[in-house]
Amino acid sequence: MAHDERGPLRIAGDRGIVWERSAEPWPAVLAAGAAAFRDLVVAVVQRAGVDPLTEVFSLMLVYVDQCGLHLTPCFGLQSDRRRWLAAGLDASDFACRLWGPEPESGPGRLYHMDADLLDSDYDAFLHREAAMRQPGDPRRIVFTAAAGLLARHDWTGLLTPTDDFVVYIAEHDELRAQACVRSRD
């Protein structure tokens, strides 16, 4: 345990830092973390090199519980949504596809995109701060803040969001449960 004139500064265990006093207020830490994730997703889209006229109706940020702050961005393509509407799907199946969009022709360049990870030290710091400084699930708190920034992001030159474009988070097991509902129909 490290100390300074104000008291405990850091507690470290066999697997690294367990607790560390931060001088920054939680809202500033959260805002910086959300901005880092926004920047990661934007960079992934830039590298994908998709046609900027590609219409998207959603961006789902998928995460896995117990896996730190890693996320996988998945865009819902407007062309898929048009195809689902034309197919006359029942309301339940259509809703499932909107909630967990998957291209019918297999994974596309805008679905299950590999996002860079945050620097491992920053990931651990942000996760630890989110766990200790507020009562909610740390992943949901950080990713919801990032979703807000991504929903308001200017995608000009990268993608074309529809007028009803939405950004949301989904834990991997939630998607698995939704897929099971879809397969029972």
26 inside domain: no
pLDDT digits (tens, 9 = 90+) for 14-54: 877 777 777 899 999 999 999 999 999 999 999 888 899 99
Query: What rounded mean pLDDT belongs to the chain?
Result: 83
CA distance linking residue 48 with residue 73, whole number of Å: 12
pLDDT at 94 > cutoff 60: yes
164 inside domain: yes
pLDDT at 126 > cutoff 50: yes
pLDDT at 8: 66
93 vs 167, more confident: 167
Which residues, at least 6 apart from 41, have a Cβ–Cβ distance to it below 8 Å?
59, 61, 73, 115, 146, 150
Looking up tokens 């990713």 gives 143
Instruction: Quickly state the pLDDT bin for 174 (edges 50, 70, 90).
Output: low
13 inside domain: no
Rg (CA), the chain: 19
80 inside domain: yes
99 inside domain: yes
25 inside domain: no
56 inside domain: yes
Average pLDDT over residues 87-108: 75
Residue-number span of the structural domain to which 119 is assigned:
32-184
Instruction: Quickly state the pLDDT bin for 173 (edges 50, 70, 90).
Output: low
CA distance linking residue 16 with residue 62, whole number of Å: 27
pLDDT at 56 > cutoff 60: yes
The candidate with the shortest Cα–Cα distance to 37, out of 124, 103, 121, 116, is: 116
3 inside domain: no
Strands 2-4 and 71-77, bridge-based pairing: unpaired
Q: Indicate the pTM of the whole model.
A: 0.83
Q: What are the C-alpha distances in Å from 93 to residues 17, 96, 99? A: 46, 5, 10
Q: How many domains, the chain?
A: 1
pLDDT at 80 > cutoff 80: yes
The alpha helices in the chain, defined as continuous H runs, are 26-48, 78-86, 91-99, 120-133, 138-152, 172-184
